[in-house]
Amino acid sequence: MKKVKVATVWLDGCSGCHMSLLDMDALIISLAQKIDIVYGPLVDAQEFPEDVDVTLVEGAVSSQDDLSRVQTIRQRSRLVISVGDCAVTGNVPAMRNSIPVNKLLQRVYVEGADTNKAIPTDRVPALLKTVRPVSEYVKVDYCLPGCPPPAKNITSMITNLLEGRKPEANLTVKFG
Amino acid sequence: MKRVTIEPVSRIEGHAKITIQLNDSGQVENAELHVTQVRGFEKLTEGRPYYEMPGITARICGICPISHLLASAKACDAILAVKVPPAARKLRELVHCAQFVQSHALSFFYLSSPDLILGMDAYPATRNVLGVIASHPELARDGIELRKFGLQVIEWLGQERVHSSWIVPGGVKSPMSAATRDKILAELPKVRQIAEKTLQFFKSASDAFKDDIAKFGCFPTMYLGMVNAKGELQLYDGNLRFRGADDGIVADQIAPDDYASFISEATLRNSYLKAPFYKPSGLEGMYRVGPLARLNTADRCGTPHADKELNEFHQRFGKPAHSAFLYHHARLIEIIYALERIETLLADENILDDHVRATAGVNSLEGVGMIEAPRGVLIHHYKVNAEGAITWANLIVATGHNNLAMNKSVKQVATEYVRGDKIQEGMLNRVSAVVRAYDPCLSCSTHTDGTLDIGIRLLSQTGELLDQI
C-alpha cells in the first residue's frame, strides 16, 4: 500500500503541539507502517515537497518567512490542518500585536543588551506587523484547537483520515 | 568567495540556518549560525500580573515547559518573599527530574540517534526517527518508553503532559497521593534498566566516532553550571559556578540575584539569538552550559550510579571534557542521575505532606528565579509595581549561553568536513549535527519570537546561487 505523505510545520509556536503529536507514544511504531513524514522538524528534508497529502501546521504566522511558508504549504498539500491555538487563533504569540514591532525589537536587542546594541538585520526575516492565525492567509481544511491539543485528539484526527473517514466534529474540543 | 547556506537546520528544536563562506580555493573561511525567530516575551509580558507569568512563559517552550514554570515560579516566590513549603520544594524537584528524562530522551532518541545509529552519511529521507524505528525497533521502543515515563510523571502530578498549570508561585497546586508515588516507583526499575542499557550501548558505539569527537566543537572554553555548597550537581536549586578551561574554578557560589554581575548579553547583527558572555572577560568570555558543562562544572553528581559514570567519563575524555560530541554522553549520564534523584525523593516520607503552597501578596518589587533547564542555566528576572504588574522582565535562556560556542563549533566542523565547490549532503549534515549535539532549543532561546531554519545554499562571491541542498 502506498504510504500517506505527511508534513509537519512549526511556525511561531513553542513546539508543544509537536510534543503532543509525539505523545501518541508507541502508536508511532504502527503509524510508521502507514505514513512517511516527508517534511518537518523531525526529518531532514530541506525543501517542502511538491505533493504532500496532509500538512499539520503548528504556530501562528509571525514573520515574512512564516508567510511565504504557509503559501507554499497550501499550494503543495491536499489537506492543511491547523494544530493548536497559535495556528487556530494566534494565541500567546499574538500578545505582541498591540506593540509596534520596532518597539519590541528595540526592547530586546537595544535596551536588553549590554554590548553591540542594535536590532539584527543580516539574514534574519522581518517580522510582520501582527501575528495572525494561519487561516487568515490560506484556506485551512480542519482546525484542532488546544494549547496543546490533547494527544488523543491529534491521533484520532490522523487515524480518521488514514481510514478515509471525515474527522469527527464532535471531538472533545479544548481551547487553551 | 562562495557562501553555502543550510536552511533549515533540521532535527533541532526551533528555526535556524547556517551560512558557510568558502574562499576561491574552496576552503572554509567562516561559518555562522543564524537564529531566525524572535517573539519578544520580555516586552509582551509588561503589564501582566506576576502570577500569570508561569503560564505565559511556559508557552516559550513546549519541550521543557516545566523549566519555565519553575524559573518563573521561583522569581514569583521572591516577589512574594516566601519560603516554599518543604514538600512543595521536593515535588518541584521531582517533576523537574521527570522533565530531564523526557527532554533528554527526545534529544537522544528522536533527534540525534538517526545520525549516531544510521550514520551521518545515511540517506537523508530515512535518516530520522521513523528510520530508526524501521532499522532498530528495540532501541526506538526504549526511547519511546523513556520519554513516556518522564511525561507520565508530569501528567500524574500536573494533570497535563504539556503546559501543566500545577507549578505556582509559592509552591505547587496540590500534594502528591501515595497512589501516584507508588505508580512512579513501580515504573522506575524498568526505566532505570533502559537508561543503563542505552548508556552502555552508546559507550561501546562511540569508539566508532573517535575522529568526530576530536573535531566536533572540540576546543577549550569555560563552563557554567549550578552546584550546591558541596560542589555537587544541582538541577532545581543552587548557585552558579564558572569553571575554566584548565579545570580551575573561575567564580563560585554566585547567588541568583547576582547573575548580572557575571553575565552580560551582546546582540549579534546576524541572528535573533543574543550572545551572553562572562562579563569580567568581555566578549572573549565564551562559556558553555548544558549537560556537558554541568558535568564539567560540578565536582560530583551526588548519586552513586551517576558518579561512577562521571568518573569514568572524565578518565576517558579528560576534565574538563571539551568536545561538543560528548553532550550526548553527558545527557545519558544525567538521565541516570535524574532517575536516581526521583527514587531518593520518593523515599522521603515528607514528600506526601499536604501543605504545598505558601501564600502572600507582593512583598518585594523584584525577583530572580534560576534553575538548570535540560539545556542549561535558565534565569527569569522580573520587576513589578506595588499591584504586582510586571514593569520589566529579562529572560536568559540556556541555548543563548551556548550561542558563541555553537558558532565556533559550526565553523570548526565546516572547516574539517566541508571541501571544494561541490557540496555533499553528508558534509553539511555533520555541520547540522554539531548544532544538534548542543540540543539547542530555539523556541526557548528566541522567546524573543523567532524561528531556526537551517538549509544549505552555495553562493558565489557576488551572492549568486551555485548549488543548494
Of B44, B128, B394, the CB nearest to A95: B44
A146 shares contact with chain B (CB less than 8 Å): no
Phi/psi at A106 (5° precision): -60, -45
- B465 has a pLDDT exceeding 60: no
pLDDT (average), residues A47-72: 96
State mean pLDDT over A124-141.
95
pLDDT at B238 over 80: yes
What cell numbers appear for B263 in the block? Answer: 553575565
% of chain B at pLDDT higher than 70: 93
| Residue B111 at interface with chain A, using a CB cutoff of 8 Å | yes
Q: pLDDT (tens digit, 9 = 90+) per residue, B253-309?
A: 999 999 999 999 999 888 888 899 999 999 899 999 999 999 999 999 999 999 999
Distance CA B149, CA B335 (A): 12
What pLDDT was estimated at residue B26? 83
The distance of A167 to chain B (nearest Cα, Å) reads: 23
CATH ID of B83-219+322-359, from 1.10.287.130, 3.40.50.2000, 1.10.645.10, 1.20.1050.140: 1.10.645.10
Cβ contact B34–A109 (<8 Å): no
Is the model more confident about B150 or about B115? Answer: B150
pLDDT at site B212 = 86
Cβ pair A3, B90 in contact under 8 A = no
Answer whether A120 touches B (CB < 8 Å).
yes
The residues facing B379 across adjacent strands are B370, B396
- Write down the domain spans for chain B: 83-219+322-359
* A28 touching B (Cβ < 8 Å): yes
**Chain mean pLDDT for chain B:** 91
Question: Is residue A122 situated within a structural domain?
Answer: no
The whole-angstrom separation of Cα B32 and Cα B18 is 6
C-beta of residue A23 within 8 angstroms of C-beta of residue A151:
yes
Q: How far apart are CA B301 and CA A30, in angstroms?
A: 39
Contact A41 B13 (CB under 8 A): yes
Which residue range forms the structural domain that includes residue A71? 4-95+130-162
Query: Residues B52-70: pLDDT tens digits?
Result: 999 999 999 999 999 999 9
> What's the pLDDT score for residue B446?
52
Query: Looking at CA atoms only, how far is residue B26 from chain A in angstroms?
Result: 22
Structural domain includes residue A45: yes
Sequence-ordered strand ranges (E) for A11-166:
35-39, 52-58, 61-63, 77-83, 127-132, 142-144
CB contact under 8 A, B449 and A12: yes
Using a CB–CB cutoff of 8 Å, tell me whether B110 touches chain A.
Answer: yes
pLDDT at position B353 over 90: yes
Among A96, A112, A151, beta carbon nearest to B449: A96
pLDDT greater than 90 at residue B36: no
Please determine, for residue B84, whether its predicted confidence score (pLDDT) is greater than 50: yes
- Is pLDDT at B11 greater than 90 in this prediction? no
Residues 6+ apart with CB under 8 A from B452: B8, B9, B12, B14, B15, B16, B17, B35, B36, B37, B440, B442, B446
- Supply the pLDDT for residue B312: 97
Count of domains forming chain A: 1
Q: Does B249 touch chain A (CB under 8 A)?
A: no
Instruction: Check pLDDT > 80 for residue B367.
Output: yes
Predicted local confidence at residue B459, as pLDDT = 46
The percentage of residues in chain A with a pLDDT greater than 70, rounded to a whole number, is 98
Check: CB of residue B79 under 8 Å from CB of residue B380: no
B187 in contact with chain A, both atoms CB, cutoff 8 A: no
Q: Which residue in B11, B15, B456 is closest to A42 by CB distance?
A: B11
Q: Whose CA is closest to A93, among B15, B450, B14?
A: B450
User: Is the residue at A135 inside a domain?
Assistant: yes
A45 contacts B125? CB cut-off 8 A: yes
SS (H, E, C) B30-89: EEEEEECEECCHHHHCCCCEHHHHHHHHHCCCCCCHHHHHHHHHHHHHHHHCCCCCHHHH
Cross-chain residue pair A28–B151, CB shorter than 8 Å = no
Whether this model's ipTM surpasses 0.90 comes out as yes
Question: What pLDDT digit, counting tens, does each position of B387-420 carry?
Answer: 999 999 999 988 889 999 999 999 999 998 887 6
Percent pLDDT > 90 in chain B is: 72
Q: B270 and A19: CB-CB below 8 Å?
A: no
> How confident is the model over B142-198, as pLDDT tens digits?
999 999 999 999 999 999 999 999 999 999 999 999 999 999 999 999 999 999 999
Q: Which helix (H) or strand (E) holds B194?
A: helix B178-205
Residues 404-443 of B with CB under 8 A from A: 429, 443
pLDDT > 80? residue B442: no
Q: Which helix (H) or strand (E) holds A104?
A: helix A101-106
**Single-letter amino acid, residue B361:** G
| pLDDT score for B232 | 98
Q: Please determine, for residue B311, whether its predicted confidence score (pLDDT) is greater than 70.
A: yes
CATH number, residue A29:
3.40.50.700
Quick one: pLDDT band at residue B133, thresholds 50, 70, 90? very high
Residue A41 located in a structural domain? yes
pLDDT-derived band at B444 (thresholds 50, 70, 90) equals: low
Q: Would you state the pLDDT for residue B187?
A: 98
Q: Do A41 and B12 touch (CB under 8 A)?
A: yes
Q: Does A126 touch chain B (CB under 8 A)?
A: no
b/e code B252-265 from CB counts within 10 Å (16+ = b): eebebeebeebbbb
Burial (CB count <10 Å: 0-12, 13-18, 19+), residue B361: exposed
In the prediction, which pLDDT does B443 show?
60
Model pTM?
0.93
Q: Are the Cβ atoms of A99 and B450 closer than 8 angstroms? A: no
Residues 6 or more apart whose Cβ sits within 8 Å of residue B169: B50, B51, B54, B73, B76, B77, B79, B80
- pLDDT given at position A147: 96
Give φ, ψ of A74 to 5 degrees. -60, -45
pLDDT at B420: 66
